[in-house]
Structure 1
Amino acid sequence: MTSVPEVAPNATAQEILRLGVTAAQGPVKLACSFSLEDVAIIELAREAGLEVGVFALDTGRLNEETYEVADAITERYRIKIDWYFPRHEAVEKLEREKGLFSFRESLDNRHECCHIRKVEPLGRALKELSGWVTGLRREHSVTRTDLKAIELDTLNGGIIKINPLLDWSEAQLLDFATERRLPQNRLLKQGYRSIGCAPCTRAVQPGEDARAGRWWWENPEHKECGLHRR
């Protein structure tokens, strides 16, 4: 079984990335949603000379502004993005039987939609990998406070899961992005602090946490799509 390395309390994001990539002992890719966190990770990996590929899930309901960031990343870093899409048969069945907005009717319906559009494609993306990188941060929400910088992802074949920005604050992230002039989603300037599918994302209100605009009709403890099951 792959062993999880010890991460020093003061380890930098690049050190965490390097530790995780080494521990994986095989291909590692970033699960990229084109958030500011993900662009920062691409920048850090490139700077450190680490071999970290990039894949993305096109749910079919993304904002135009998200695709603009994908295009900007391809231009800036000259990298190939491996796109994964939901099974069209599953999407057709869901929309024919339950309509276009069934995810707003119940938590079960929302989980069903997320499974079809995100979780199942993620499984295919991770199948040939030894490790994957995420832009998760503890500050995001109450569902992410007990994460570790490097974990064993037993629900996805026991591969290494690397969360290099786990302890970064939002202010630290914004400073890094400004200093490096990283591509940013235009919606961030409109109050969007966490951006997913268009129908499930809105701008946050003053005093709300970063993921308050995701599935805003649900309780905070339910605000995960299944990509980061524990």
Structure 2
Amino acid sequence: MLTSVTTSTPDQWAVLQNNLADIAGRHPGVVFASSLGVEDMLLAHAIFDAGLPIEVFTLDTGRLHAETLALVERIHERYGVTVNMVRPDPVVVKRHVDEHGAFAFYESIELRKACCGLRKVEPLRRILRGRPAWITGQRREQSLTRTELAEAEFDEVFGLQKYNPLAGWSLEQVWESVRARDIPYNPLHDQGYPSIGCEPCTRAIRPDEDVRAGRWWWEQKLSRECGLHAKN
């Protein structure tokens, strides 16, 4: 059973690594889906630092920022680990672009979700097939759709156990831990991007906006999920 940490304590890091070790022990073959955002870099560091048998992968949609892709190489240099880059079917992507255009996601929620579906959801479904569990870096305070996020849940969409070990962490706790351990992170965070996705669908936020306001900013707040976390 995962141990919750809701306030910053000297044992916070140990609790996180113990939780991850417990997940790895109970679910051989578990994988961690990293968006390469600051939360996920914290989790990746915890995994690499403890030498846990958890495969780290990221969804390379073909539309990521150059800074995000460069971070993959920094991970290899720092930890000697190669992140598994999971990509969409190029034939399906080309068919969609030929039919709807390269930027159709701005036109409607349906077309945006279709783009997310073929570039993110299908590749995720492919890598999760046959796996016992997966781990994410989601936190409750990230958005209105995540306020009830559980630390452990059964993912009915993909048919396996799902863990969100940072669910109760605050953004301040995340950054304190990242800075204390000199964990590499995406430089876009220093340019006003607290949440980073595909380049055309992500913008910097203003000081008075919530951390997810820069994701699919042209849509209403409650529609701002890509489908990876459908239960939200």
Distance 1:118 1:135 in 2: 16
Distance 2:101 2:179 in 1: 41
Partner of 1:168: 169
SS at structure 1 position matched to 2:134: strand
Over the matched positions of the two proteins, sequence identity in percent amounts to 43
**Is 1:199 aligned to residue 189 of structure 2?**
no
**Is 1:185 aligned to residue 186 of structure 2?**
yes
Partner of 1:110: 112
Distance 1:224 1:144 in 2: 10
Distance 1:8 1:34 in 2: 24
2:146 alignment partner, one of 123, 131, 144:
144
Deviation at 1:83, TM superposition (A): 1.5
**Is 1:92 aligned to residue 94 of structure 2?**
yes
- Structure 1-normalised TM-score? 0.92
Partner of 1:13: 16
- Structure 2-normalised TM-score? 0.91
SS at structure 2 position matched to 1:83: strand
Partner of 2:52: 50
Deviation at 1:8, TM superposition (A): 4.0
RMSD (Å) for aligned C-alpha atoms: 1.4
Deviation at 1:186, TM superposition (A): 1.2
In the TM superposition, what are the counterparts of 1:207-218 in structure 2 within 5 Å? Answer: 207-218=208-219
**Is 1:219 aligned to residue 220 of structure 2?**
yes
**Does the 8 Å contact 1:20/1:161 carry over to 2?**
no
SS at structure 2 position matched to 1:100: coil
Partner of 2:64: 62
Distance 2:138 2:202 in 1: 17
Deviation at 1:209, TM superposition (A): 1.1
**Does the 8 Å contact 2:37/2:186 carry over to 1?**
yes
**Does the 8 Å contact 2:41/2:183 carry over to 1?**
yes
SS at structure 1 position matched to 2:157: helix
Letter in 1 for 2:167: L
Distance 2:19 2:221 in 1: 28
**Does the 8 Å contact 1:104/1:110 carry over to 2?**
yes
SS at structure 2 position matched to 1:156: coil
Bigger drift between 144-153 and 61-70 goes to: 144-153
Distance 1:143 1:30 in 2: 21
1:135 alignment partner, one of 130, 134, 137:
137
Distance 1:7 1:87 in 2: 36
Letter in 2 for 1:23: R
Distance 1:139 1:55 in 2: 24
User: 1:104-150: CA deviations, max 9, x gaps?
Assistant: 10110100000010000001111132111111011110111111111
SS at structure 2 position matched to 1:95: helix
User: 1:150-183: CA deviations, max 9, x gaps?
Assistant: 11112112x2211111111111111111111111
Distance 1:9 1:164 in 2: 8
Deviation at 1:211, TM superposition (A): 0.7
Distance 1:9 1:63 in 2: 33
Distance 1:151 1:190 in 2: 34
SS at structure 2 position matched to 1:155: coil
